[in-house]
């Protein structure tokens, strides 16, 4: 299906991207996803948190070198570089601190994960080092469903969770976004996307008009993946259905001492 249908739309409020008042202590946040454009799933929350003062780094496990989307690119490095530039553009539009590319092969993260030099083992080591070096207060990544079941999304979820749950000291809060059940747009190709019982999504990160505008600008960066008409509609479609004024999250674990109370 086209990337518009292939991208994911997608504890306590104290440990999440949620905000109730201006922050006295800005947080360091890692938003770890699989592909350029995955950040769309939570774009208005990222924009709002950045506007409130959080330092947010977008981390992408792959550069999307296999997904031409609506572009004329062949799979490969030229496409990957175009998508890296789109991710940088999106991060700037959302007000993020920057973008880190780990450059694993698109679609490869689940290959022979127990092998000594598998992408999964190497990515686990990279994520461990990244989290150790960055010392985030909060990590946000895909939930177990991967938004709509993409194998790379599920692997990023599993590996990030594995790394964070192993930390005895300095463990950041870890949250997963979700689609509240009953909010999917009436688009046939999206009806098998994963939904979550709203009772399991207690963390609501509300956003405003400026954050929605930033999300529109971020989505417009991804020209290889969506045609012009789709780029103009996605943010408002999600705003009217899935988000409805707030991006929804749940905590992976009970709040840890590193969580920064809001």
Domain that holds residue 230: 3-18+25-251
- pLDDT class of 147 with cuts at 50, 70, 90: very high
Q: What is the DSSP string of 129-153?
A: HHHHHH--SEEEE--TTHHHH-HHH
Query: Order of strands, edge to edge, in the sheet holding 98-104?
Result: 98-104, 55-62, 28-33, 138-141, 173-177, 246-251, 203-206
Is-contact 107 65, C-beta < 8 A? no
Q: What is the CATH number of the domain that holds 60?
A: 3.40.50.10320
Q: What is the mean pLDDT of the chain?
A: 90
Answer yes or no: is 258 within a domain: no
Instruction: Report the SS3 class of residue 121.
Output: helix
pLDDT for res 25: 83
Q: Is the pLDDT of residue 243 over 50?
A: yes
Q: Is the pLDDT of residue 14 over 90?
A: no
pLDDT for res 9: 30
Answer yes or no: is 262 within a domain: no
Return d(Cα 126, Cα 80) in angstroms, integer. 19
Answer yes or no: is 256 within a domain: no
Return d(Cα 179, Cα 41) in angstroms, integer. 9
Q: State whether the Cα torsion 27-32-36-39 is positive or negative.
A: negative
Answer yes or no: is 260 within a domain: no
Instruction: Report the SS3 class of residue 206.
Output: strand
Q: Is the pLDDT of residue 27 over 80?
A: yes
How many other CB atoms sit within 10 Å of the CB of residue 166?
Answer: 10
> In Å, how far are 109, 168, 216 from 175, measured between CA atoms?
21, 18, 24
pLDDT for res 69: 94
Once rounded to an integer, what is the mean pLDDT over residues 227-243? 97
pLDDT in tens, 65-87: 999 999 999 999 999 999 999 99
**Number of structural domains found in the chain:** 1
pLDDT for res 24: 62
Return d(Cα 45, Cα 17) in angstroms, integer. 7
Answer yes or no: is 228 within a domain: yes
How many other CB atoms sit within 10 Å of the CB of residue 174?
Answer: 26
Answer yes or no: is 261 within a domain: no
**Angle CA 100–103–107, to nearest 5:** 125
Q: Is the pLDDT of residue 57 over 90?
A: yes
Return d(Cα 139, Cα 239) in angstroms, integer. 23
Q: Is the pLDDT of residue 131 over 60?
A: yes
Tokens of residue 57, six digits = 């780094």
Q: Is the pLDDT of residue 8 over 60?
A: no
> β-pairing, 203-206 with 246-251?
antiparallel
pLDDT for res 245: 98
Once rounded to an integer, what is the mean pLDDT over residues 121-125? 98
Answer yes or no: is 175 within a domain: yes
């Amino acid at each position: 299906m086209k990337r518009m249908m292939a991208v994911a739309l997608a504890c306590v409020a104290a440990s999440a991207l949620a905000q109730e008042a201006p922050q006295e202590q800005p947080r360091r946040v890692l938003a770890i996803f699989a592909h350029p454009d995955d950040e769309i799933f939570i774009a208005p929350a990222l924009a709002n948190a950045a506007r409130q003062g959080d330092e947010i780094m977008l981390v992408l496990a792959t550069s999307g070198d296999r997904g031409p989307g609506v572009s004329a690119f062949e799979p490969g490095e030229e496409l990957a570089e175009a998508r890296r530039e789109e991710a940088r553009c999106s991060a700037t539009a959302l007000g993020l601190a920057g973008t880190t590319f780990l450059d694993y092969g698109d679609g490869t993260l689940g290959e022979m994960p127990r092998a000594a030099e598998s992408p999964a083992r190497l990515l686990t080591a990279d994520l461990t080092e990244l989290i150790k070096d960055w010392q985030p207060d909060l990590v946000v990544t895909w939930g177990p469903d991967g938004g709509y079941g993409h194998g790379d999304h599920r692997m990023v979820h599993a590996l990030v969770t594995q790394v964070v749950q192993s930390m005895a000291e300095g463990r950041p809060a870890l949250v997963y976004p979700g689609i509240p059940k009953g909010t999917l747009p009436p688009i046939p190709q999206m009806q098998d996307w994963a939904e979550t019982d709203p009772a399991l999504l207690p963390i609501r990160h509300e956003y405003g008009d400026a954050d929605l505008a930033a999300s529109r600008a971020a989505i417009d960066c991804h020209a290889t993946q969506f045609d012009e008409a789709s780029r103009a509609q996605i943010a408002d479609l999600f705003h009217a259905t899935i988000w409805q004024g707030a991006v929804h999250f749940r905590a992976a674990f009970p709040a840890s001492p590193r969580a920064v109370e809001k």
